[in-house]
Amino acid sequence: MSQIDLLVKNGRIIDPANGVDTVADIAVNDGMIISIGNNIQLQAKETFDATGCLVTPGLIDCHVHCYQYSTPLGINPDEQCLSRGVTTIVDGGSAGSSTFEGLRKYVADNSKTRVLAFLHIAQHGLAASGCTSGAPGGELDSLNVVSVDECSKCVVENRDLIVGIKVRLSDSIASDGKNEHEAYRRALLASERAGVPLMVHHTMSTVKTQVGPDDSTELGCPRDLRPGDLYTHTFHPYRSCIVDEETLAIYPDVIQAKERGVLFDVGHGQGSFGWTVAEICARSNFYPDTISTDLHTGNHRGPVYDLSTVMSKFLHLGMPLSDVIRAVTSTPAKAIGLGHVIGSLTPGKEADITLLKIHDGQFPMEDSQSQVRVLEKLLKPVTVWRAGVAYPITEPNPFPNRQAMNINSREWDNIRVRDDVRPHIQ
């Protein structure tokens, strides 16, 4: 081989899937990783000196909303994800069986970012209701559109893109809670039938977080989730929180679910990450399995910004750096059944590579309701390669967004587990 395409030199490679944390080089040719080692002596068309950088597998955000123009939530994958160091995203139920082909044709097929999807149990997905700028009510107001047959059939016919099923459990989007339990039951059945995991949004729900002995016949969430299913919005501070509002202890059903293999996902979102809840969990060493943004039109200008910002919050909470990287690489890759394709830096695999840098300083950072903590370390992407092709990095602007912080702070009165003092945004 006379000359390869790319040589990334002298970076600290953190690849949890392969148990690697060392300074080394990566050689790339024809979009594939061909070699990893010390002082690789190959001529390259491009050599990138990664001294002082973290070199990781391409970041995976397993909960975003990218069905742009067809749902009120949809962001542009390349502008909001790839340009922030994320090479693979999983849409979190924007499309249902009746609308999925549009997500494939107009988003997945036209994005440089790898776009996958959790299919919503409701056939119309999040086309109009129950979300930012949408109509009042929600997608589960009628069970007529919640079809086990149509959902599982769509998964089977689109296994190249659909990696799981999604259901949102909130009473306000399910006929004031009357349809929640049945929609949940059908989603569990559809995912079992299709052989894929179920991702559950569980906030302000009639489905109990902790199921008591007198309610043993009721469905619980996460009690009735199975190993490999994903519980998203783990650290939200509203009703249905994973923390008991009175004792401030994590519910036993939550701990037992994690122990049996249910995956707990961040899904930060506009309303679903509270510093107070996350700190309670961190003190019990209860960290997320997957770190995701729930990025959409209502939060990409704050409080979420991007995946590396959310990762930084968990560094601040004491989550080890290697575990933070694992939660955006190998764990989500395995969770969606693609650990053999993405989530690692392995010779013979596509060259999805992210370079990050840790910045030291004092970085005030808000949660979803504008409660603020001061971070001492902030992760920022430096560059990204998707299948060996480099793409430019952009930064959130404005950052922080004080206008958004003022608006989001109005929710403080509605949250159940919170700081003692109301946020004051200057």
Q: Does residue 368 form part of some domain?
A: yes
Q: Helix (H, G, I), strand (E, B), or coil: what is residue 189?
A: helix
Q: Helix (H, G, I), strand (E, B), or coil: what is residue 122?
A: strand
Domain span at residue 46?
Answer: 4-56+351-396
Question: What pLDDT shows up at residue 2?
Answer: 78
E strand or H helix at 185: helix 180-194
Residues 45, 178: one domain? no
Question: What pLDDT shows up at residue 214?
Answer: 79
pLDDT one-digit tens code per residue, 143-180 = 999 999 999 999 999 999 999 999 999 999 999 999 99
Question: What pLDDT shows up at residue 1?
Answer: 60
Residues 219, 368: one domain? no
**Amino acid identity, residue 262?**
V
Residues 64, 42: one domain? no
**What gap in Å lies between CA 399 and CA 115, rounded to an integer?**
26
Residues 67, 117: one domain? yes
Q: Does residue 143 form part of some domain?
A: yes
Whether the link from the prior residue into 197 is cis, omega within 30° of 0, is no
Report how far apart the first and last C-alpha atoms of the chain are (Å, whole number). 59
Q: Does residue 71 form part of some domain?
A: yes
pLDDT one-digit tens code per residue, 203-247 = 999 999 999 887 778 999 999 999 999 999 999 999 999 999 999
Residues 180, 255: one domain? yes
Q: Does residue 179 form part of some domain?
A: yes
- The DSSP secondary-structure symbol of 260 reads T
CATH number for the domain spanning 43: value is 2.30.40.10
Q: Does residue 408 form part of some domain?
A: no
Enumerate residue ranges in the chain where pLDDT < 50: none
CATH number for the domain spanning 263: value is 3.20.20.140
Residues 51, 97: one domain? no
Residues 109, 43: one domain? no
- Tell me how far the alpha carbon of residue 337 is from its chain's centroid: 16
Question: What pLDDT shows up at residue 135?
Answer: 64
Question: What pLDDT shows up at residue 240?
Answer: 98
Residues 41, 23: one domain? yes
Specify the pTM. Answer: 0.98
Residues 176, 315: one domain? yes
Using only C-alpha atoms, what is the Rg of the chain? Answer: 21
